[in-house]
Structure formats: structure tokens, C-alpha cells
Amino acid sequence: MEKLKLKFLANLGFVYYLSLIIGTLVLLALAGLAMFGSDQIRLSGMRTILYMVAFAGALIASLVKTLIVKMPEPQGFELTEANAPKLWRLIEEIRNKIDFPPMERIIITHELGASVVEYYSYGVFGKLKRYMFVGMPLIMALSEEELMAVLAHECSHLSKAHSNSYFKLYRAKLIWSEVYHNYTEKSRRQNFLITSFLFRYVPAINNALFKYSRENEFEADRMAASITSPEALSSALFRLILLNHYLSSDFWPKINLLSRTEANAPMDVYSRMYRALQQSVGLEVQAKFIEFLSKEVSLPYATHPTYLQRIENLGVVMPVSLENTSDRNILKADDHPLIQSMSAQWKQLVSEKWKENHAEWQQNVNKLNILKKEAKNSTVNLTDPDKFEHYIHLTEAIEGHQSAFELAHSNLKSDPDNIDSRFHYGRLLLESGDEQGTDILKSVISDEPKYTLLCNNLLMSHAFTKGLKEEAFQYYQHARDFARSFSEVNEERSYIRDTDRFISHDLPNEAVARVIRALKATGVLKAYLVLRVFEYAPEIPEYLLAVQLKKDASKSDYLAVRKAILDEISPCWHIFIVSLGKKTLKVEYNFQQIADSRIM
């Protein structure tokens, strides 16, 4: 029964459009029969028929036009049997074992991951194409067996042996989301019959995908484990979590820092990554991640299960440590042709931005040297707020926190009344953990209103990290009261607009889980949580909670929702609550495009 529901939902868009076209033609035919069936056909009747034909033609053309969408062709380095024969044969072996249909192309990407997609060339028309995306870091990080397990997991989503109703629904989401985007972006006059349907249909697909996504992942895991081993998939998943952290927090930041001293991007970035990934991860680091993963909180609308849930589904336990896989990697060497080709492509992709960053850094170094020389010769006026602001920010960015602190301290000693020096001196003290910075920033607030938002925001963050929630709330209140004295701030925050910008909320899973429990107790049926971005006073963010309550909900129910979420998040943030319904379909559609926004 559930499979039938998914199939119906996946095909509902086609059925709706076809019904509109057939319905329009039937009405036109009936009107024509009525006209021509009468004894006399007057000129006005002929005009009416012509108008109806024109209207019907325009409607049908509009319907068909919205369905013809050129789907974007995947970009990237194409894997062939010639440039990586062993990897090609591995994928072919997987394809044969799990009855996976032929692929249009296999694309090597720069991400630490893999995926498969399928869609028609022109929205709902054209050839059905399938693509596999395999990340170069993924290929280099895993042993051959681990790589096979991960790729088998992805391929199983489209396997004939797999329950692929979910993936057909996912394909429908890709198609109809593109149809909606193309229609709303390019059509000046929008047809109510089309927009009202798409506003409801795409969110309905998303809701169904949320409901079945976890079981779909579990099923893919079991199929992947059946052609390799549960242990291989478990260790691969754990290794990817570790390496994702390493690449984002260590490897790529160090590579990006090279743009300061080197005019051109390195030609061997993936050779460097290969060598780095073959090093064993320290046992202490592994132990920290094992502890983190064992406590990871699962949220009801997360698209993927937690690592612990996945290995429990496989019937294995969490590994105590990971073995070094350097001798079992499919590429075997850091000078493999695929590594060289991807390094060359990466350099080409980042070359322009790299040169811009290098030129900007060198320009800032030159500016700082000039300012230093002027300061030494007393030809620069450090009491000028703009000049000093520029000087201290350049010093902090190029020479570090300590040099900036010494500059602020020196300038404050020579000019104790300089409010800008006092602000930066207090800021740098606070950022280094010195509580003296708190008193200095408070004095800055009382002497110079322009620093009110910045100082209160710094003090609030500092108090919050120390667990002083009530104190943090007071700083937030001061900042908010100050901001609300400006009409632009009040106007921007007074109501929700279609043009408002939202981003993913920044709450940890533990906090979201508490929010969900609190919302359930108030009778909330569905909820989205996002952060709202502002042009005025961006230092004071705002959570936006969109909820669907029971039909007979009262004002007291909404107040209970507000209190519940304020108590669970922290006392520091304002909550704007939106009621979901027919008038907020576009708002809900926009929220669904934001990662991790759906919490209930």
C-alpha cells in the first residue's frame, strides 16, 4: 500500500497536467458543439468560439512550456576505462552484482562523497539519464573494499533489486523543483492553476521523502554490506566522518594559506592530499570521535540516520580504531594519472580566485608596511578613527592577535581618551579570555553609542560561552533595545516578506531535540526552524519558527509555543512565529529548500 502511495505521488504531477490539458480540450469541444448545434450561428457566437480557442491554446501552450525544462548537464572530470581501469572495473563489478542499470557518465568530483542521480533530459520529456558522482578524496581515503561498499550503497538506490519507489519520488522532486524554479523565474504572467499546484505538490513530495528516507538508507546499507561486508561499510563510514573533519579543519585551510605567499595554485594538490590521507589518524583523535558518535542525537526529520543507528542496522559494533589503508588503496600511488588529472582540473578551477587572493594579500601587506612607516615617522594620525580601524585590522589579519593587542595598548597609553583604541583593546582582551575586557567594553558602551551593538554582542557571546545565560540575556536586551530605536530596524522585522533571506539554524542536535519535545507538548503538528538574515542590525539575529497547530488553536497555544522554544534554546534570542496554512504556502516551500529546517 505504501509503495502504491509513493508511485501515485511521483506521477501526480503528470496526471494533473494531463488532466488540465484534456479538461481544456473537452470544454472547448463541448462549447463548440453547443454553438454549432444551434439553428443559427451569429457573428458574436463565432467571436466567442475564436476567443475560447485562443484562450485554450494559450493555456495548453503555457502548461506544455512549463514542462519543457533543460536539465543541467553535470560538469566535471569523466571517468573512463582508459584513465582509471581498476576503478572502472570495480564500478562495473558493483553494477553487475546489484543489477544496476547502465549509466550515462561517471563524474569524478572534488567532494568527499558519492551519489547517483537520474532524470529526463528536458524535465518530463527526453531520455532518462543516470549519472554517478564519485569524490576524488573518497577514492584516495578508502581501501578498495571500503570504496566498493560506499559505491554499492549509492548504486543500490537505483538497483532493480531495491525498492526504488523512493528514488522515483526523489527524481520527481528534482524534476518538479526545476519546473517550479524555471516557471517562477521566467514567466511574467503566472497561471494560478500551475503555481497553486506546485506550491502544494513539491512540499508534499518533500514530506514523503522525509518519511521514508531513513528506511531507504538502511535498505541501501544492507544491500551494500551483502556484496562486501558489514565491517567494510562500517569502517568506511567512520573513516569518512574522521577525514571530513580533517580536510575541512586542517588540509584545505593550510592549502588556502599558500595563496598568501605563492602567486599560483599548486599543481599537485591531490598528490599532497593522497600522502596526507595515507597517514594514520591518531588514536586520541579517533577516541574523541567515537565518544561523539556514541552520543549523537537522532532527529526525526534528518534525511540520514546517525552512524550508530546505521551500524546497529548492519549488526556490527563501533570500531575501537581504524587500520591504515595505504597498502589497500585502489590508486596505489600519489602520481596516478587520475590524481594528476584531477589536480590539474582543480588548479584550473581555482586559478583566478587564487590569484585574486594572492594580489589582495600582497596589497594589504604593502598597505600595512606603509602605515607602519608613517606611524614610525609620526606622519599618520592614529586618532583618525578610519585610519586606526584600517591599521589595527590589517595588523591583526597579517601579524596576528598579539601584534594587534600591542598596537591597541600602545595607542591607548599615548592617548587614553581614544575611544577606538579602547574598544579594540577591550575586544582583544576579552577574546584572549581576560575578564578585564568586560569592564572596558562596558565603559565604551556608556561613552560611544556607535559601539553599542558590537560591544553587547561580544559581551553576550562571552557570557554565553561561560554558561552565564541570564547575563548574556541582559546584553542581548540592551543591544535589541538600542537597535529598535531605529525605524529601519523595526520596519524590517515587523513582518515576513517573500524576499526575506533565511539560512540554516545553528543549534546542535541536542538543543533541537529538546525543542521538539517542548513543541509536541504544545500540540504542534509540523514545524520548521531557520535563522532570518537582516540588512539592519545583523548582529541581532532572529530565529523564525513556522508551525502548524491543531485547527482549533488559540492565541494562548501560540504563546505556549513561544515560551517552550525560548526556554529550550536559550534566553538570548527573539523568536518570530509564523502559522503555516494556505496563505503561507510559498514561505513553507522556501523553508524546505534550506538544509535541516524541518524539525517536526
Q: DSSP string spanning 412-434?
A: HHH-TT-HHHHHHHHHHHHHTT-
**Contact predicate 527/543, CB 8 Å:** no
Tell me which of 51, 67, 83 is where a domain ends: 67
55 vs 420, residue with greater confidence? 420
For the residues 330-357, what does the mean pLDDT come to? 90
**Is 178 a member of any domain?**
no
Nearest alpha carbon to residue 395 among 419, 370, 378, 420: 370
Distance of alpha carbon 29 from its chain centroid, rounded? 49
Nearest alpha carbon to residue 325 among 230, 235, 251: 235
**Is 370 a member of any domain?**
no
**Contact predicate 505/529, CB 8 Å:** yes
Check the CA dihedral 511-517-519-521 and report its sign. negative
**What is the pLDDT, as a whole number, of residue 137?**
92
> Quick one: 352 and 393 in the same domain?
no
> Quick one: 418 and 444 in the same domain?
yes
**Is 188 a member of any domain?**
no
Tell me which residue range forms the domain holding 98. Answer: 70-164+225-356
Q: Hey, which of 280-294, 373-387, 474-488 has the most confident mean pLDDT?
A: 474-488
Burial of 347 (0-12, 13-18, 19+ CB in 10 A): middle
> Quick one: 451 and 516 in the same domain?
no
**Contact predicate 169/137, CB 8 Å:** no
> Quick one: 456 and 508 in the same domain?
no
Pairing of strands 574-579, 501-504: unpaired
Tell me which of 441, 456, 483 is where a domain ends: 483
Strands (E), 430-494: none
What confidence tens digit (pLDDT) does each residue in 445-463 have? Answer: 988 888 888 888 889 888 8
**Is 598 a member of any domain?**
no
Pairing of strands 125-135, 114-122: antiparallel
**In what helix (H) or strand (E) does residue 546 lie, and over which residues does it extend?**
strand 542-549
> Quick one: 245 and 134 in the same domain?
yes
Angle, nearest 10°, between helix axes 419-431 and 385-399? Answer: 30
Q: Which residue has the cell 532518462?
A: 128
CA separation for the pair 418, 425 (Å, rounded): 11
Tell me which of 420, 451, 483 is where a domain ends: 483
What confidence tens digit (pLDDT) does each residue in 472-485 have? Answer: 888 888 888 888 78
**Is 436 a member of any domain?**
yes
**Is 52 a member of any domain?**
yes
Q: Hey, which of 31-35, 362-366, 560-564 has the most confident mean pLDDT?
A: 362-366
> Quick one: 522 and 479 in the same domain?
no
> Quick one: 235 and 122 in the same domain?
yes
C-beta atoms surrounding 338 within 10 Å: 20
What confidence tens digit (pLDDT) does each residue in 526-582 have? Answer: 888 888 888 887 777 788 888 887 776 666 776 777 776 666 665 445 677 777 877
**Is 185 a member of any domain?**
no
**Is 175 a member of any domain?**
no
Q: What is the pTM of this model?
A: 0.80
**CATH number of residue 542's parent domain:** 3.30.70.1350
Count of the separate structural domains present in the chain: 4
Q: Look up residue 362 and give its three cell numbers.
A: 600582497
**Contact predicate 262/358, CB 8 Å:** yes
Nearest-5° Cα angle at 56, 53 to 58 = 105
**What is the pLDDT, as a whole number, of residue 564?**
67
> Quick one: 237 and 287 in the same domain?
yes
**Contact predicate 339/271, CB 8 Å:** yes
Lowest pLDDT segment from 33-47, 128-142, 209-223: 33-47
Lowest pLDDT segment from 317-321, 408-412, 533-537: 317-321
> Quick one: 529 and 573 in the same domain?
yes
